[in-house]
């Protein structure tokens, strides 16, 4: 069984520290992105990344997207980092966001542009097109070594992170698909209370032992969880202490599930990722679920939590499982 990890505290004293912190907290090295690091809020701090606008008309939407959680969390200080080669767009985006934050009483303590292994100062009217920039290498920074010690995998891009949800074994996917078809033919013979108890037992066993579903178990679970009450039996087993183990379990299932059946396992993975503090992975999993049904209530609920940068501590652990278990 994996033990829950204790979050590491990173202290940044220079721009290079901030730039090394970004892949540590996001799980990947951003490109064409606006990254906002926040510090000193009354509530747990959060860090956000959005796509850097490609059109100046999109900057206002970007600002509003990032400003809402800042207000919600009463953030006192922020660092802004634009990753991109277009100096004009990066400056316009940084200045618009900084102005909005300052108007809201937020102290913007640093503002940088990053491109091609160099960082450029942008705070206080600095004009980075007149500078050569400062060469840096986040991979050799002590924070990168700390990530290894913490068991954090830092990927080269968000796309690479999303690719970790794509299976590479067609035979494994076919085995689960066949199991779904067999299970669907027997679903009418199953008693909901007994099915709820089976779901509880099989998931708890795999979480405790660090193992993954067999193809037969995966097929039965996917069919059962089409019933939202049964899905909630599984959902209710998650806690902050077990979240990382749930991430491993549900990511494996998503990778072995046919695309058209990924709604529930991808949504459960998104929740487990959010609960474990892996916001970027949560977004990637949520994107996969939304491709199937963007209006699925669990998808909308998680989307709101991620957009508002709600911390995992806001989740109230389930103290009682669904009534379906009462008669099992």
How many structural domains are present in the chain? 2
**Is 4 a domain residue?**
no
Same domain for 248 and 205: yes
- pLDDT 10s digits, 190-208: 888 899 999 999 999 999 9
pTM equals: 0.75
Based on the domain organization, do 150 and 169 belong to the same domain? Answer: no
Q: Look at residue 293 in the predicted model and tell me its pLDDT.
A: 95
Domain boundary among 102, 130, 157: 157
| Residue 45 within any structural domain of the chain | yes
Torsion of CA 91, 93, 98, 104, to 10 degrees: 160
Cα atoms in the 13 Å half-sphere on the side-chain side of 193: 6
- Mean pLDDT score of the chain, rounded to an integer? 85
Q: Which residues of 251-266 are buried (b: 16+ CB within 10 A; e: fewer)?
A: bbbbbbbeeebbbbbb
Distance CA 97, CA 61 (A): 10
Model confidence over 14-23: pLDDT tens digits? 788 888 888 8
Specify burial of residue 161 (Cβ count, 10 A radius: 0-12, 13-18, 19+).
buried
Q: Are residues 198 and 134 in the same domain?
A: no
Q: What is the pLDDT of residues 259-312, one digit of tens each?
A: 999 999 999 999 999 998 888 899 999 999 999 999 999 999 999 888 888 888
118 lies in a domain? yes
Q: Is residue 9 part of a domain?
A: no
What is the DSSP secondary structure assignment for residue 188, as one 8-state letter? G
At which of 157, 176, 209 does a domain end?
Answer: 157
Specify the CATH number for the domain of residue 22. Answer: 3.40.140
Sign of CA dihedral 308, 279, 260, 157: positive
- In 75-198, the DSSP E strands lie at 77-83, 107-115, 118-121, 134-135
Q: What is the mean pLDDT of residues 91-101?
A: 95
Q: Looking at residue 42, what is its pLDDT? A: 64
Percent of residues, the chain, with pLDDT higher than 70: 84
Catalogue the E-assigned strands of the chain: 33-39, 47-51, 77-83, 107-115, 118-121, 134-135
Q: Name every residue whose Cβ is closer than 8 Å to that of residue 46 and which is 6 or more positions away in sequence.
A: 38, 69, 73, 279, 309, 311
Q: Which residues have C-beta within 8 Å of that of residue 49, sequence separation ≥ 6? A: 26, 30, 33, 34, 35, 36, 158, 280
Domain for residue 242, yes or no? yes
233 and 129 share a domain? no
Is residue 99 in a domain? Answer: yes
Same domain, 87 and 20: yes
Question: DSSP per residue over 32-49, as a string?
Answer: SEEEEEEE--SSPP-EEE
Query: Are residue 130 and residue 177 in the same domain, yes or no?
Result: no
| Confidence at 26, pLDDT banded by 50, 70, 90 | confident
Same domain, 133 and 221: no
Domain assignment present for residue 245? The answer is yes
- Does 222 share its domain with 239? yes
Between 73 and 106, residue with greater pLDDT: 106
Q: Indicate whether 138 and 171 sit together in one domain.
A: no
> Do 288 and 249 share a structural domain?
yes
- Whether 76 is covered by a domain: the verdict is yes
User: Which one has a higher pLDDT value, 12 or 86?
Assistant: 86
Reduce the DSSP state of residue 112 to 3 states and report it. strand
Contact predicate 78/106, CB 8 Å = yes
Full residue range of the structural domain in which residue 169 is found: 164-327
The answer to whether residues 71 and 137 belong to one domain is: yes
Distance (Å, whole) CA 298 – CA 289: 10
- Give the pLDDT score at 58: 93
In a shared domain, residues 246 and 128: no
Return the CA Rg of the chain: 22
What is the number of H-type helices and E-type strands within the chain?
Answer: 13, 6
């Amino acid at each position: 069984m994996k033990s829950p990890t204790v979050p590491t505290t990173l202290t940044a004293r220079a721009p290079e520290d901030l730039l090394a912190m970004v892949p540590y907290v996001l799980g990947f090295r951003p490109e064409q992105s606006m990254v906002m690091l926040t510090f000193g809020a009354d509530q747990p701090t959060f860090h956000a990344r959005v796509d850097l606008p490609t059109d100046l008309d999109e900057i206002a939407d970007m600002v509003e997207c990032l400003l809402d959680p800042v207000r919600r969390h009463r953030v006192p200080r922020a660092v802004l980092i634009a990753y991109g080669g277009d100096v004009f767009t990066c400056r316009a985006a940084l200045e618009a966001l900084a102005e909005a934050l300052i108007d809201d009483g937020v102290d913007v303590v640093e503002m940088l542009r990053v491109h091609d292994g160099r960082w450029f100062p942008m705070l206080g009217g600095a004009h980075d097109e007149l500078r050569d920039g400062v060469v840096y290498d986040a991979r050799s920074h002590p924070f990168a070594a700390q990530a290894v010690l913490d068991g954090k995998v830092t990927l080269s891009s968000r796309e690479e992170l999303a690719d970790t949800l794509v299976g590479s074994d067609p035979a494994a996917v076919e085995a689960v698909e066949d199991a779904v078809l067999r299970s669907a033919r027997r679903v009418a013979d199953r008693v909901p209370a007994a099915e709820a108890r089976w779901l509880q037992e099989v998931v708890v066993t795999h979480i405790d032992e660090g193992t993954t579903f067999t193809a037969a178990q995966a097929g039965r679970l996917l069919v059962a969880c089409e019933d939202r009450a049964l899905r909630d039996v599984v959902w209710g087993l998650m806690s902050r202490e077990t979240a990382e183990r749930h991430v491993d379990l549900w990511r494996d299932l998503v990778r072995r599930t046919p695309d058209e059946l990924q709604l529930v396992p991808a949504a459960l993975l998104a929740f487990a990722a959010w609960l474990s503090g892996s916001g970027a992975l949560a977004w990637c999993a949520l994107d996969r679920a939304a491709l199937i049904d963007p209006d699925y209530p669990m998808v909308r609920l998680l989307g709101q939590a991620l957009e508002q940068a709600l911390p995992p501590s806001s989740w109230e652990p389930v103290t009682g499982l669904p009534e379906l278990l009462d008669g099992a």
